[in-house]
Amino acid sequence: MKSTLASALILMMGLIVTTVPSLGHHSGAMFDNTKTITVEGVVKKWELTNPHSWLWVDVKGKDGKTVTWGFEAEGPSTLLRAGIKPSDFKTGTALKITGNPMRNGEPAAIWVDAVRTSDGKKFDPRAGFAVK
Amino acid sequence: MRHKKAFIVITTLLALSLLLSACAQTAETPGGPPAAVAPTRTREQNIELGRQHKTAEDLFKALREEAKGGKKLEWNRMPDWSGIYSRPLDKGFNFDVDQPKDQPSSAKLTPEYQEKLVKRIADVKRGIEWDPISTCAPPGVPRWLTEPFLREWVVTPNQTWLINEMVNDIRRVYTDGRDHVPVEDRLPTPNGDSIGFWDGPRLVLHTNQLKAGIYQRGNPDYTDQVETVEIWQKTDDKTMSVEVWVYDPPALVEPWYVHHTYLKLSDPPRIQYWDCGENPNNVVVQTKEGTTAFKDLNFSDEKQKGKP
């Protein structure tokens, strides 16, 4: 009886561990850094936030349907060090963007680089870690 | 006459060189702030120094005795540690920057903690990783030393603040001669309790009352018995340097000596408030397998309304 109760308790603890959300500087384990995807689209939203920023990009598929992709990058100060400013991605800005995709196939990726269509400017978020 | 002039010039140059040499040795500029100096011991000597002292407290006391108690700073004689710095990442994220990439940790771990590290590295290779700071908790000391973000040092006679922009993280080092909090009133915190003294241009400090954590992703764990001794100094106009001895008997067979450098940025952005919880798309959960997954990732304005 005792062991049944203990097992139930352990199971409940396990469920708690898997359901308590955390909001912070997470590992990138959900992304597959051995793969890259590249999409072309227009900026839907540009969230410069800590600890991670998100660039939302509307991508029109061959079937005509639009899917919103999220590209995750570091926070504002690291992006500023990479020369990426709040004004760079106004809503509707066309771009080609590359990232390491989610392992589970969801439309999101770690942002690796991007090229803005209007002027060909390149954006490499990881350049923000360079010390110069 | 010509010989007399030459004699005066040579004597003056010799006197100046002796004066500069004396200043370099004592790291003091007469009437001015302490000057930048190079570290005085080699890595091997520092490793041996750690071994010679059983605890961090013992090492700290020995360094204080060596410095004859240290010398308190005065407002008109302060080292210039101004500027914004960051940790160069060319050597990766390891706690020991001298440890080659993809090589075993240079820490001499106890069997239990060695096993934990082997499992952590194997898990990462399988795509399984959970970082304790996913909760927006601060990295804590000693991990604080390895984060790659913007840093400032604020020096005053009685306290020095070691600042990392990440989660607005400040370590306060008391240099007014106070001791640690009495044993019976100690409360472990992520950055612990730091006291220190000035040995010329060097800030020597001891930190205890810390919480358990990891040195960095892919690096070993430390326990709540971890303590550090650190010697901070500006080694040239653009470089802040720290020598670190970590003591943690449950996890380390002997003290772990490492050093870190932080380079001054030529055109840094302003340091702004770091609100770790501002974006619901950064909410993650730990799965049954122990890895990290987004809780409810979505890119719909409507769905995001009302989220935490």
DSSP states along B8-34: HHHHHHHHHHHHHHHHHHHT--TTSPP
> Looking at the partner chain, which of B89, B278, B291 has a beta carbon nearest the beta carbon of A50?
B278
Nearest CA of chain B to the CA of A35: how many Å? 13
d(CA A85, CA A77): 10
Query: What's the whole-model pTM score?
Result: 0.85
User: Are residues B281 and A54, on separate chains, in Cβ contact within 8 Å?
Assistant: yes
Summarize the confidence of residues B150-171 as an average pLDDT: 97
The average confidence (pLDDT) of chain B is 88
User: Residue B304 — pLDDT band, cuts 50, 70, 90?
Assistant: low
**Percentage above 90 pLDDT, chain B:** 78
d(CA A57, CA A64): 15
Which residues of A are less than 8 Å from B275 in CB distance? Answer: 49-50
Is the separation of the CB atoms in B118 and B281 below 8 Å? Answer: no
The average confidence (pLDDT) of chain A is 87
Is the separation of the CB atoms in B105 and B219 below 8 Å? Answer: yes
User: Are residues B266 and A76, on separate chains, in Cβ contact within 8 Å?
Assistant: no
**pLDDT tens-digit profile of A37-65?**
999 999 999 999 999 999 999 999 999 99
| Residue among B246, B261, B260, B258 at smallest CA distance from B210 | B246
Asked if residue A12 has pLDDT above 60, the reply is: no
DSSP, res B126: T
DSSP, res A128: G
> Looking at the partner chain, which of B276, B281, B293 has a beta carbon nearest the beta carbon of A30?
B293
pLDDT, greater one: B135 or B296 = B135
> Coil, helix or strand for A15?
helix
| Residue among B282, B275, B289 at smallest CA distance from B134 | B282
Q: Which of A10, A17, A25 would you mutate first to test chain B, the one with the most B CBs within 10 A?
A: A25
DSSP, res A24: S
pLDDT, greater one: B299 or B257 = B257
User: Closest chain A residue to B294 measured between Cα atoms?
Assistant: A30
Which domains does chain A carry? Answer: 37-129 (2.40.50)
Summarize the confidence of residues A22-37 as an average pLDDT: 88
User: Is domain B33-267 given the CATH code 1.10.540.10 in the classification?
Assistant: no
**pLDDT tens-digit profile of B42-60?**
999 999 999 999 999 999 9
**pLDDT tens-digit profile of B216-243?**
999 999 999 999 999 999 999 999 999 9
User: Closest chain A residue to B282 measured between Cα atoms?
Assistant: A23
Q: Where do you find CATH 2.40.128.20 in chain B? A: 33-267
User: Closest chain B residue to A73 measured between Cα atoms?
Assistant: B282
User: Are residues B265 and A25, on separate chains, in Cβ contact within 8 Å?
Assistant: no
d(CA A69, CA B246): 44
Nearest CA of chain B to the CA of A22: how many Å? 4
Long-range contacts of B54-58 (CB under 8 A, 24+ apart): B55/B227, B55/B247, B56/B206, B56/B208, B56/B227, B56/B228, B56/B229, B56/B245, B56/B246, B56/B247, B56/B255, B57/B206, B57/B208, B57/B227
